[in-house]
Structure 1
Amino acid sequence: MFVFLLSWCLLMPVVAVAADKPVVVARAALRELQPVNWYIGTVISRERARLAAEVSGRLLWVAEVGAHVQKGEVVARIDDTLLKDELVERRADVTRIEAQLKFLRDEVSRLQRLAKQNNAARSQLEKAISERASAQSELTAAQARVRRVAEQVKRSRLEAPFAGIVTERLLHAGEWADEGSAVLAMTDPVHLEVQSWVSVSALPYIETGRELAFVSAGRRYRGKVRTLVPVGDLRSRLYELRLGLPEGKWRVGESVRIAVPAAAARKVLSVPRDALVLRRGYTAVYRIDAADHVARKVLVDTGVASGPYIEVQGEIQPGDLVVIRGGERLRDGDRVAIREQESSQ
């Protein structure tokens, strides 16, 4: 009998401890919260271009899609045979006019010497001076034609304006490229940003350099506003927002969701979102009485939410402990064992 009573006494505290339900808690506090609206954004390259032919001709070669190229590297070549032949002709014109100009200069000098000795007619000298000036003008024009054709030869090779990847071939080798027709497209995959479109109501709360939260693939990030174009699209009435990206393996075309402020921030009583117990017909939190570690269910109304916190209105005071994990198993009046307390921010 004594052994039975002793065993029963030893079991009593074990049963009492087992009845205390482990929970994680945090404190309700006054925090500045700002409501947000979520907008869809897309990761884009800050440098992307369609390269067009600058001279007409048959394409000899176009870089493959996916090719990595450096700035200044040739990405397409146009047949320049006729242009090079024309360049030879233009240079020959320059040589011929230079020879003619040299002769006229010598002739003017000779006639000037004769004029001093009164052995040459004044009209002959004036004619030679006029022809010399005309030849000088012809030489200037011929040299300009050489430079123009040489530049066309150079432009028969399309060069990458920045380091990047060829993303599309719009014309292929053997096809005719007219001047101004797009040949290929390329993108810089390194220098990226997020592009989004926001409503006019968000403009007062966005400024260059401000950090905004955004979500990608279930993870939360922050990026600085790089620019906000203050001119709205005439059809959508939305304004373009560009957001810088933190370090990471981002891909062009990746979709993100951006939290954009919708109103001014205000100080409210708030709890972590995880404290809310959502039931059909009501929302509650479990407040812990510090003296006896008993959970009390408190009905609340919710308000503005921002980040991990949400405004609550009810019988909750700043500093109260509320359950943020383990509440789904609780009932009003249950005793709890505080396993961990998260710090208030």
Structure 2
Amino acid sequence: MNAARSRSTWIQWLLLAALVIAIALGVVRALDKRKTTADNARAAAEALKTAPVYTLSEQDVVTVQALELTQTVAISGSVQALQTAAIKARTAGEIQGLNKREGDSVKAGEVVARIDSTEAQARVRQAERQAASAQSQTAIARRTFENNQALVKQGFISATALETATANLAGAEATHQAALAALDIAKKALADTTLRSPLTGQISARLVQNGERVGVDTRVFDVVDLSAFEMEAAITPADAVAVKVGQAAQLRVEGLGQPVQATVSRINPSVQAGSRSVLVYLRMPPADGMRQGLFAQGQIATGTVTAPAVPQSAVRNDKPQPYVQVLREGKIAHLTVEGGATGLRGTEPMREVKGLSAGTQVLSAQAGALREGTAVRAAASPN
């Protein structure tokens, strides 16, 4: 009995010892894990305090070069034919003889339509008869005047009768002149029933059909002369200071594969009231495929300047003012770019960067945006 009780006590103490050992091991493991976590957190914090160093490839960096750049003013607008005309009805009536359609060619003075002239012809005949009647009355009045003049000299009638004959002759002559003027008006109305093209070109719009009755000033055709073109462009007053008549411009016209050379022909002396812009007019030569209303954009060359320049793509615009990313002592610095000259190096657009000297290294567009102060290093050149 005592032996069994001693064995049970011993087993209980053994289990208690094992439990204490297990708890001690768990506490030690938890403390070790906590220390490891704290060490990792401290290491991460230290890593965050240390700024990363970016490695740049040769394509990520461009060098500022002193280039001769053409100063330009950007323009855009629609191409318009220099000469256009709207053929309108000058008298009311039924339209006849329409045989031209959009795209057909016409010559200056060519008959393109007629308006029913029945009424106009009748008015001409009426005016001719009235003019003939007035001429007859004038002849009678003149004979009476001449007879009375002879009778006055012979003393057969008084001077008062001669004055009456003189007044009758003057009235008859005035009536005749009025009838002739009415005849001219009737002939003009008859001529207005024939519609002619005022210039050589092509029909761009046909607005009525045969048999349709039109009123005075109704548009019948629009004619466009494609032998010369002009573009109207709106620019700012600041840009207009450098633009002069005769300066050359290069334009890209939609649909045309090659650029079009243009010349500044006129500058509007007034500023537009709403937009506060200045209108500039550029003369353009004809080209295959050129049409009225095509959109065009390009630059007017206002002068040349030799200045430090970088590719246009290296100038970033994700800030209120454009800037470039400059490499200075292994770090990135952001330098604001003021407006300057632009030009081409081969086919690549270049832009002046004031305040930078030739040889300065600037990040290219493919390098992306880096925070100011970021540390960078150049990649090792391959052996």
TM-score of the aligned structures, taking structure 1 as reference length:
0.71
The partner residue of 1:155 within 178, 192, 195 is 192
Alpha-carbon deviation of 1:107?
Answer: 1.4
Residues 277 and 79 (structure 1 numbering): CA distance in 2 closer, same or farther, change over 3 Å? closer
- In 1, Cα distance between the equivalents of 2:133 and 2:194? 30
Q: Which residue of 2 aligns with 1:60?
A: 96
Residues 221 and 183 (structure 1 numbering): CA distance in 2 closer, same or farther, change over 3 Å? closer
Alpha-carbon deviation of 1:235?
Answer: 2.8
- In 2, Cα distance between the equivalents of 1:143 and 1:96? 11
Q: Which residue of 1 aligns with 2:372?
A: none
Q: Which residue of 1 aligns with 2:163?
A: 126
Q: Which residue of 1 aligns with 2:293?
A: 253
42-51 or 217-226: which moved more? 217-226
Consecutive unaligned residues of structure 2, counting only runs of 5 or more, are 1-63, 317-322, 328-332, 345-349, 361-377
Q: Does 1:215 align with 2:252?
A: yes
* Backbone CA RMSD of aligned residues: 3.8
Larger strand proportion, structure 1 or 2? 1
Matches within 5 A, 1:34-53: 34=71, 36=73, 38-53=74-89
Runs of 4+ in 1 over 4 A off after TM superposition: 263-266, 271-274, 281-285, 299-303, 312-315, 331-336
Q: Is the 8 A contact 1:65 1:169 kept in 2?
A: yes
Q: Which residue of 1 aligns with 2:139?
A: 102
Q: Which residue of 2 aligns with 1:311?
A: 352
- In 2, Cα distance between the equivalents of 1:260 and 1:138? 65
- In 1, Cα distance between the equivalents of 2:149 and 2:156? 10
Alpha-carbon deviation of 1:29?
Answer: 3.5
The percentage of aligned residue pairs carrying the same residue is 22
Q: Which residue of 2 aligns with 1:179?
A: 216
Alpha-carbon deviation of 1:57?
Answer: 1.4
Q: Is the 8 A contact 2:248 2:300 kept in 1?
A: no
- In 1, Cα distance between the equivalents of 2:134 and 2:275? 62
Q: Is the 8 A contact 2:142 2:169 kept in 1?
A: yes
195-204 or 90-99: which moved more? 195-204
The partner residue of 2:226 within 166, 184, 189 is 189
Count of matched residue positions in the alignment of Structure 1 and Structure 2: 288
Q: Which residue of 2 aligns with 1:294?
A: none
1:148-207 superposed Cα distances (whole Å, 9 cap, x missing partner): 110111111121111111111222222222122222222112221222222222210111
- In 1, Cα distance between the equivalents of 2:143 and 2:155? 18
Alpha-carbon deviation of 1:300?
Answer: 11
Mark the structure with the bigger radius of gyration.
Answer: 2
Q: Which residue of 1 aligns with 2:30?
A: none
SS in 1 for 2:86: strand
Q: Is the 8 A contact 2:229 2:285 kept in 1?
A: no
Larger helix proportion, structure 1 or 2? 2
Matches within 5 A, 1:234-273: 234-246=273-285, 248-249=287-288, 250-260=290-300, 266-270=305-309
- In 2, Cα distance between the equivalents of 1:28 and 1:300? 18
Consecutive unaligned residues of structure 1, counting only runs of 5 or more, are 1-26, 286-298, 319-330, 337-345
- In 2, Cα distance between the equivalents of 1:247 and 1:189? 7
Code of the residue aligned with 1:80 in structure 2: it is S
- In 2, Cα distance between the equivalents of 1:127 and 1:76? 53
Q: Does 1:227 align with 2:228?
A: no
Q: Is the 8 A contact 1:195 1:240 kept in 2?
A: yes
